């Protein structure tokens, strides 16, 4: 459990790293944001398709792996409808409205991070190297999320220290999810297989529903470059 908590903490705190980048350097360019989102998506696609799903099938068979995969994707889909995962705004709103948007993003990312933590916990139970690979992918993905949270909070007039604290709290919800995942999926090989499928489904949904569409919206070619580079890194992981 100790390793799970440490790894998930480091993955979660990259959200605050993204916020720190915004505080120090200002709002990131669309090309940088597009590349980061695409890169995170490529890493996640490689891990979910080339590692997690094959491991799930090997541990528990195709049916259990597919049920786990579908469950992970379904949970992320339900979260997106219950608590929309809001991203960058155009900065034209008044300060009070921007601050409200920032808080909405904070809550959305905090809840989503619980689900992402479940994926880390599931991977760690199956094999530490899998959990580490998932944590790295989610950690990379959390950097632009931290930026997305920090921009409206900063524009809304919130002090830098409070912005860092809020983004760190949102990121550390990953630890809660990882702890729950490690407890829920350690009973049998069937549960481990379902957990791996669950992690793959959750990551696949995040890539298809959020990372790739937003990356392409910011910059089409940078998104593709980031995706390819991220996939290569994911294969190497």
pLDDT, tens digit, 9 for 90 and up, residues 33-46? 788 888 878 888 88
- Judged against a pLDDT cut of 90, whether residue 164 lies above it is answered with yes
Quick one: tokens of 69?
A: 């995969």
Most confident of 144-148, 197-201, 220-224, 232-236: 220-224
Residue 66 is part of which domain span? Answer: 2-24+42-236
Distance CA(35)–CA(144), nearest Å, equals: 10
Task: Flag whether pLDDT at 170 surpasses 60.
Answer: yes
pLDDT at 61 over 80: yes
Share of the chain above pLDDT 70, in %: 89
Three-state secondary structure call for residue 25: helix
Q: How many CB atoms lie within 10 A of CB 177?
A: 24
What total of structural domains would you count in the chain? Answer: 1
| Chain center to CA of 135 | 9
C-alpha to C-alpha distance for 136 and 131, rounded to whole angstroms: 9
Which token pair is 98?
A: 């921007």
Half-sphere exposure of 231 (CA within 13 A, CB side): 12
pLDDT, greater one: 133 or 155: 133
Q: Assess if residue 91 is contained within a domain.
A: yes
Here the tokens at position 86 are 């809001």
Whether residue 29 is contained in a domain is answered as no
Q: Does 62 or 75 have the greater pLDDT score?
A: 62
The dihedrals phi and psi of 26, each to the nearest 5 degrees, come to 90, 180
Residue 201 located in a structural domain: yes
- Domain assignment present for residue 114? The answer is yes
Confidence of residue 162 (pLDDT cuts 50, 70, 90): very high
Establish if 31 belongs to a structural domain. no
């Amino acid at each position: 459990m100790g390793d799970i908590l440490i790894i998930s903490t480091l993955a979660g705190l990259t959200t605050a790293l993204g916020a720190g980048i915004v505080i120090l350097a200002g709002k990131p360019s669309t090309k940088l944001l597009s590349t980061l989102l695409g890169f995170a998506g490529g890493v996640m696609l490689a891990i979910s398709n080339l590692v997690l799903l094959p491991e799930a099938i090997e541990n528990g068979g195709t049916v259990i792996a597919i049920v786990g995969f579908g469950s992970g994707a379904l949970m992320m889909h339900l979260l997106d409808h219950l608590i929309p995962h809001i991203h960058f705004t155009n900065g034209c709103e008044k300060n009070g409205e921007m601050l409200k948007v920032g808080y909405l993003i904070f809550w959305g990312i905090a809840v989503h991070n619980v689900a992402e933590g479940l994926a880390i916990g599931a991977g760690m139970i199956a094999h530490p190297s899998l959990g580490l690979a998932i944590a790295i992918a989610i950690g990379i993905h959390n950097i632009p999320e931290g930026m997305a949270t920090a921009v409206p909070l900063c524009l809304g007039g919130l002090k830098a220290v409070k912005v860092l604290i809020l983004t760190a709290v949102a990121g550390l919800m990953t630890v809660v999810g990882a702890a729950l995942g490690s407890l829920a999926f350690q009973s049998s090989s069937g549960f481990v297989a379902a957990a791996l499928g669950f992690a793959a489904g959750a990551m696949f949904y995040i890539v298809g529903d959020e990372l790739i569409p937003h990356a392409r919206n910011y910059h089409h070619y940078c998104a593709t470059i980031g995706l390819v580079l991220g996939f290569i890194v994911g294969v190497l992981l």
